[in-house]
C-alpha cells in the first residue's frame, strides 16, 4: 500500500508567547501543496525501514515514520511491516515533510490493518509525534492556534489556479535558535482574516515573525523573497522558520529557475 505525504506552507506565522509545557503559542494558516514524498508499507516477517531520495539526517530511531509505527504497533499489537520512504521534500526547510511522513504513516497503518482507529485517537497519536502532525491528518487549508494542533478549516478561493514557486537555499535553520531570537514581550496584533482579504493585500498584512531574525542572519534568504517579487509574485514569504521561501504567481514566469545558484532546490507546486 502506497501513500504520498505532501508538504505544507505557512501563510503568516505569529508567536504569542511561551507555554508552561515548553511549547509556544502560534497562530498561522497551514496550506497543503502538491509536493510529496512516497511512503509504502507492506506486511513482513520482520520490521524494516528503508529510504531513498534525499538523505535523512539524524538517528533512525527518531524518524517519525518509525515512531508512528511503534505507537500503532504497541496499542494494537500488530505484526511486523516493511516501510519504504522515498524522500523528495527537503528537510529542515519549513515544509513539514517529516511531520507529514509521520501523520501519513499513522493513516497508512490504520488502513493496512483495517484498524478503524477513531479520528480522535489518530489525532492524539499525531500530536505526540509533533505539533504539525495533526494538520496532515486534516490536510486542507486551516487556521492553526495553540501548538498548531487547534485547527479550523477555511476556504481560500484566492489561491485557486495559482502557481506556487519554492526556493530552498540548502541552509539549515535551527528551530530552537529561531524561537530564541524572538522578542516575546511585544504585543501581538490580531492575526489577519486572510480568507476575506484579496491576495493583493496579503503582502502588507500577512507576516511571518521569523523573517526579520532569519533574514538578518541569512540575507541570501531575504534575497529570494525579493527576487520572487521582482519576478511578479503577488505574495512571497518564508515558510515556518525557514529556509524555504515561496512565491504565489498567476502563472510561473518563463525560465524562472535561471539566476538562482546551482545548489538551490527549486520546486513548482499548486
Q: What is the pLDDT of residues 18-63, one digit of tens each?
A: 887 878 899 999 999 999 999 999 999 999 999 999 998 777 778 9
**How many residues appear in the chain?**
270
Catalytic residue among 37, 71, 101, 132: 132
Residues of the chain with CATH 3.30.70.890: 157-269
Q: What is the pLDDT of residue 58?
A: 73
What stretch(es) of the chain map to CATH 3.30.230.10? 2-153
- Nearest-angstrom CA–CA distance, 164 and 246: 7
CATH class entry, domain 157-269:
alpha beta
Q: Is 57 a catalytic residue?
A: no
Q: What share of the chain in percent tops pLDDT 70?
A: 100
Interatomic CA distance for residues 218 and 73, integer angstroms: 42
Question: How much is the pTM?
Answer: 0.94
Q: Which among 8, 71, 87, 143 is annotated as catalytic? A: 8
With cell 525560465, the residue in question is 255
Residue range 174-198, pLDDT digits in tens = 888 999 999 888 788 889 999 999 9
Report, as an integer, the average pLDDT of 215-224.
97
User: Strands across the sheet with 142-145, in order?
Assistant: 6-18, 24-36, 142-145, 150-153
User: The CATH number of 2-153 is which of 3.40.1670.10, 3.50.50.60, 3.40.50.720, 3.30.230.10?
Assistant: 3.30.230.10
User: Is there a catalytic annotation at residue 132?
Assistant: yes
**Which residues touch 241 (CB under 8 Å, ≥6 apart)?**
94, 173, 175, 178, 179, 210, 214
The answer to whether the CB of 232 falls within 8 A of the CB of 247 is no
Torsion of CA 267, 210, 64, 29, to 10 degrees: -70
**Dihedral of alpha carbons 62, 68, 73, 76, sign:** positive
Amino acid at each position: 500500500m502506497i501513500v504520498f505525504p505532501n508538504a505544507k506552507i505557512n501563510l503568516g506565522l505569529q508567536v504569542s508567547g511561551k507555554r508552561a509545557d515548553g511549547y509556544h503559542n502560534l497562530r498561522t494558516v497551514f496550506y497543503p501543496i502538491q509536493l510529496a514524498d512516497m511512503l509504502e508499507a507492506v506486511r513482513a516477517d520482520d520490521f524494516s525501514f528503508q529510504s531513498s531520495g534525499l538523505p535523512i539526517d539524524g538517528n533512525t530511531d527518531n524518524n517519525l515514520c518509525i515512531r508512528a509505527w511503534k505507537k500503532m504497533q504497541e496499542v494494537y499489537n500488530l505484526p511486523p511491516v516493511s516501510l519504504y520512504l522515498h524522500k523528495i521534500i527537503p528537510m529542515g526547510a519549513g515544509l513539514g515533510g517529516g511531520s507529514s511522513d509521520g501523520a501519513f504513516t499513522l493513516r497508512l497503518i490504520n488502513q493496512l490493518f483495517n484498524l478503524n482507529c477513531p479520528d480522535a485517537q489518530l489525532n492524539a497519536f499525531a500530536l505526540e509525534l509533533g505539533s504539525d502532525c495533526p494538520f496532515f491528518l486534516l490536510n486542507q487549508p486551516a487556521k492553526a492556534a495553540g501548538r498548531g494542533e487547534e485547527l479550523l478549516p477555511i476556504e481560500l478561493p484566492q489561491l485557486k489556479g495559482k502557481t506556487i514557486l519554492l526556493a530552498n537555499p540548502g541552509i539549515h535553520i535551527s528551530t530552537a535558535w529561531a524561537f530564541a531570537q524572538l522578542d516575546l514581550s511585544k504585543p501581538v496584533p490580531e492575526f489577519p482574516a486572510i480568507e476575506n482579504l484579496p491576495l493583493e493585500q496579503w503582502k502588507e498584512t500577512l507576516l511571518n515573525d521569523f523573517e526579520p531574525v532569519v533574514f538578518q542572519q541569512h540575507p541570501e534568504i531575504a534575497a529570494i523573497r525579493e527576487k520572487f517579487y521582482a519576478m511578479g509574485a503577488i505574495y512571497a514569504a518564508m515558510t515556518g522558520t525557514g529556509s524555504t521561501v515561496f512565491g504565489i504567481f498567476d502563472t510561473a514566469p518563463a525560465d524562472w529557475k535561471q539566476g538562482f545558484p546551482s545548489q538551490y532546490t527549486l520546486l513548482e507546486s499548486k
